[in-house]
Chains A and B, each alone.
Chain A
């Protein structure tokens, strides 16, 4: 035990947390480059004031429809024809298409095709979420026990929340009666994993030219299995990069998007038509950030739901928000197959069971909000009541570890009250001991054992670990595939048991030195166990 000699707890840091202003605006830019940057930033602020421009526009679309409806004082239904007459809405719609060109394709699909595309996209989202878990856990396991308490806690919390996201995507798939398959061969990430998104965190382009797309692709993130280090954290930060380049600093409370949506219990009609479809397109869609991918999914689901509802309602009636949300894509929501809220614990956020479109939106907001912040805020959507301090989105949590400072208590340069997301935290110090980490081999593989002096038993421990991880995922897969609640609970318990074993196993692997002074590492190779 520490020989703490002072008698009264030093309350300073806690008081700071609660009372002090988090950010103080500085009006002077550091350099000409900064000034230029700020100029560009300002131009884009208006458009990107929300976390998601597409969703924002979609929201505006709903609002203007409502306004239009009220203006006309029309108690009759607004059908597709008179909707098309409204120029303003057409304009908004073309805005969406312009920002997210992938939607041009969507626009031309019929319902069945759209649904297939949506399924592809959601399955792909499973892979995306899955791909972050091994690297985050590897970084966590590589930290020597008892050291780096705060960095461990942060990394652990993010890893668990990624598992939450994985499960919630499964819930969404089940809610649309699309069988989620985490262990489909194509969807199992292998490392180094070429993450399909970029994170050049500057100004979001309004348009994609082919050169730009090439550029983006060139800069795609490569996710390695490597130790907790500045390099790995840089990768994590890129993975979790927010869409918007500006956020509100911590002390400015604004209404969350979630609340906004709850206000929108409004009438809605259908905006689009369809023609043809390409369902493999999803894999070549040019997204910049994960957030944009989820935006795409959201809009796609929105359009598909509209289409389904229109067919259901025989192209005639208008419908209110409640009606719009129910049935359609969600006519068989498979609630029993979904994992429910009491089955999730261990980190922030909440597990949402999806019954209709509104729940679906909540899932998307939870996933994107936890990852990169919501609506231009740094804070995750669900703030736990009993939590010390604030629960930041993953991006900002990793930024704090990477730079060894909390945001809280720092001074930041603001532009119109907003802070650039690339701003480094400079508040209270956060102790990071980069040396208290096992120096593990990057992207270690079982076949690498051939190249080095064979370590007796190492292969079997590596295989044990991989099988254990496979079982963890396998039991989750079983849990999301069964209709029996008790069976599902047992599967979840089984999968958690495997998770608990992994830390110990990883630790014993990482203690083993290889020839070159590097240490062994879990290889996360689960493909051999499929089928």
Chain B
């Protein structure tokens, strides 16, 4: 017997507390409905005298993870942080999920659950993802307050204009339903919300791709680009490489596809606190168009300098990156952005008089609540109910026992926003039967399809001079030369962020080096010195290769495989095509040239495994997952081949939005979070419009 979960009256229900959910909640919480003007206005414009004319948007967020994971203030938030830190310290393998708890009730995909002994079927028993092959899906995510931004690296490059026009420019995949030029302001806003540090893009910028992505033409005038904070200084190793790529004024060039290509390093924009940029003066707000229900994002000049967002428990801490090299999975300083920072801004507002933070009663979170099914009206498709399982964990003699209650929430009057990751969003919907034997939001039959990730191709070697890895944050610069070009009609582009973690990823260095030396009987001071000498020259290059959408790469469910709450687990079919493989062959050649120029002694080697493949000569190539889980409910202009419209609103269900990286029709070569946040900020316009039409 399912019981009603009484949640009072809500206007918007958001599933998840990750970055998309938090951004959406924060934006909506910043607007109130003016009953006189019949439009939403930013709370900045509301004062004591006109207060009574305004109605807040009542928002409820549902989080599958533990309550402790959504503590947002004071000692509790600090305690959670310390507990994550402690767990990270204790774990043997420092993988992305190691500081966080893989909950029995809300399990997460974990890189440690990846196929062992090359047996996908074997893996299904222990892992959350049911891998159906032929290749394993190699990326993970975490289901906890703040979502996967808790362990992300924080890199926030933009997609490029051509990435939005893949079909019309290169005859591949699909075009985006949004013009790049129209999208730039959402990128600007996303950079503001995430707090991005980067090098300004102006007339002195040499990289043409960056100029196209960042510089805007507004009313015929060229507008250069500033980031909210100044760039994170490049790490020692990046500087050493940059020096070798540029001799005096001459930049190193390389022949690529019959063209000479300049190779240089550019600082990667990243959501990591640094010095506020004095030149940055933007603020953003949504404004209703006259005589229409539509809202537009407006960018205004702001005289107030950008304020750095510190830790949850002390706004003065975490104000600058301290150069800890453990960004993934955990920033001990909390200078790296995570979604809880935004979530806090949704739940707490500054009182205009006392300047104190006050809990905003119109926003609430219910944790330990797993959404597993939606129910829609057969008449107009309105989502009428969502079904949840609420659990409590009990530790009885070291065994975790779950106390579960099955409940539902009436959502006919609400806007339902699924804001989980690109595996969970389709998982919930595919478990929600609708008409004619198909599922909710799946008239196009594209739901759960087009799963994408970046193929990460690693190459490593010894430099001649020490480059001292692990100094500074995880990655501070990149090679952008191969992100776009005519070659994209033949093979995938690839992006080259340089890691600052030595060989940690491919060989588990320096741990493996230590083992090796110990095996050779080296101990004491000699061990310390030798280990130092080995590690200081380790360098890692990596190429992130764009994967095209392929309907056969998909998330499905199978009632055979369920989790502890009897909710179906995601079943993944995944493969890579020759388009991506060819790019990896090309990237190999690029690295060979680069290593030769940089005098790096190549030490890369790959095992024949499930995630490897061979070229004609029989050389083995292997790739890793980038953690960029993208593309299972893509936006589009045509209901027949997309799951939502360009505002992430379902084609069939008038009160359903699907936001998150799943919305992206193609992946490009950039880390997807920034683009996803920009898409979410664009969806907000549509949600405000729907709420206006509903008109209270």
Contact = CB atoms under 8 A, between A and B. Distances in A.
A1 B356 CA distance: 29
A447 interface: no
A346 B316 contact: yes
Given A5-B393, A9-B365, A388 B78 contact: no
B78 A7 contact: no
Contacts of B322: 500
Contact of B359 (A6, A18, A500): A18
B438 interface: no
A342 B275 contact: yes
B490 interface: no
B448 interface: no
Interface string B146-190: 000000000000000000000000000000000000000000000
Given A7-B367, A146-B82, A345 B357 contact: no
B67 A4 contact: yes
A346 B357 contact: no
A347 to B, nearest CB: 5
Q: Counting chain B CB atoms within 10 Å of each CB, which of A1, A8, A11, A15 scores highest?
A: A1
A29 interface: no
B69 interface: yes
B67 A6 contact: yes
Contacts of B313: 149, 153, 388
A384 B368 contact: no
B242 interface: no
Contact of B392 (A5, A150, A348): A5
Interface in B352-373: 354-359, 364-369
Q: Counting chain A CB atoms within 10 Å of each CB, which of B74, B101, B316, B317 scores highest?
A: B316
B239 to A, nearest CB: 14
B359 A384 contact: no
B316 A7 contact: no
A9 B355 CA distance: 23
A500 to B, nearest CB: 6
Contacts of B302: none
Interface residues of B, number: 52
Interface in A1-33: 1-9, 11, 13-15, 17-18
Contact of A1 (B68, B275, B369): B68
A388 B73 contact: yes
A149 B78 contact: yes
A149 B71 contact: no
Contact of A387 (B315, B367, B393, B395): B315
A contacts with B: majority SS:
loop
B315 A7 contact: no
A14 B82 CA distance: 21
B469 interface: no
Contacts of B357: 18, 386-388
Nearest to A497: B323
Interface string B330-356: 000000000000000000001100111
B143 to A, nearest CB: 13
A508 interface: no
B608 interface: no
B316 A157 contact: yes
A383 interface: yes
B142 to A, nearest CB: 12
A8 B5 CA distance: 13
Interface in B66-80: 66-71, 73-75, 78-80
Nearest to B345: A386
Contacts of B74: 13-14, 388-389
A390 interface: yes
A3 B393 contact: yes
B481 to A, nearest CB: 30
Contacts of A73: none
B359 A11 contact: yes
A353 B309 CA distance: 23
A385 interface: yes
A153 B275 contact: no
B349 to A, nearest CB: 11
Given A386-B307, A500-B322, A146 B86 contact: yes
Contact of B67 (A9, A383, A500): A9
Contacts of B310: 386
Contact of A2 (B68, B320, B366, B367): B68
Nearest to A347: B316
Nearest to B369: A7
Contacts of A153: 78, 313-314, 317
A481 B368 CA distance: 56
Interface in B395-426: 395
Contacts of B68: 1-2, 4
Q: Counting chain A CB atoms within 10 Å of each CB, which of B67, B354, B358, B364 scores highest?
A: B67
B354 to A, nearest CB: 8
B366 A8 contact: yes
A18 B358 contact: yes
B394 interface: yes
B627 interface: no
B359 A14 contact: yes
Contacts of B354: 253
A1 B358 contact: no
Interface in A25-72: none
Given A1-B66, A1-B68, A15-B359, A149 B316 contact: no
Contacts of B350: 385-386
B547 interface: no
Nearest to B358: A18
B390 A7 contact: yes
Interface string B262-293: 00000000000001101000000000000000
Interface string A124-159: 000000000000000000000010011001000100
Contacts of B366: 7-8
A346 B317 contact: yes
Contacts of B319: 345-346
B83 interface: yes
Interface in A381-431: 383-390, 431
B365 A1 contact: no
Contacts of A6: 67
B314 A157 contact: yes
A149 B75 contact: yes
Contact of A150 (B75, B315, B393): B75
A8 B87 CA distance: 25
Interface in B631-650: none
A342 B358 contact: no
A390 B75 contact: no
Nearest to A152: B78
A159 to B, nearest CB: 12
Contacts of A386: 307, 309-310, 315, 350, 357
Nearest to B353: A253
Contacts of A383: 355
Q: Counting chain B CB atoms within 10 Å of each CB, which of A4, A6, A11 scores highest?
A: A4
Interface string A208-238: 0000000000000000000000000000000
A50 B365 CA distance: 45
A92 B300 CA distance: 52
A146 B316 CA distance: 19
B83 A1 contact: yes
B192 to A, nearest CB: 16
B316 A348 contact: yes
A450 B278 CA distance: 55
Q: Counting chain A CB atoms within 10 Å of each CB, which of B74, B275, B322, B358 scores highest?
A: B74
Nearest to B305: A342
**A-B complex: 9 closest residue pairs judged by Cβ atoms:** A345-B319, A4-B67, A386-B315, A347-B316, A149-B78, A2-B68, A4-B68, A5-B392, A388-B73
Given A1-B87, A4-B67, A431-B75, 13 more contacts: A1-B101, A2-B68, A3-B393, A3-B394, A4-B68, A11-B359, A17-B356, A146-B82, A157-B314, A253-B354, A345-B319, A346-B317, A348-B316
9 contacts: A2-B79, A2-B80, A8-B364, A9-B71, A18-B356, A146-B86, A345-B320, A384-B316, A388-B315
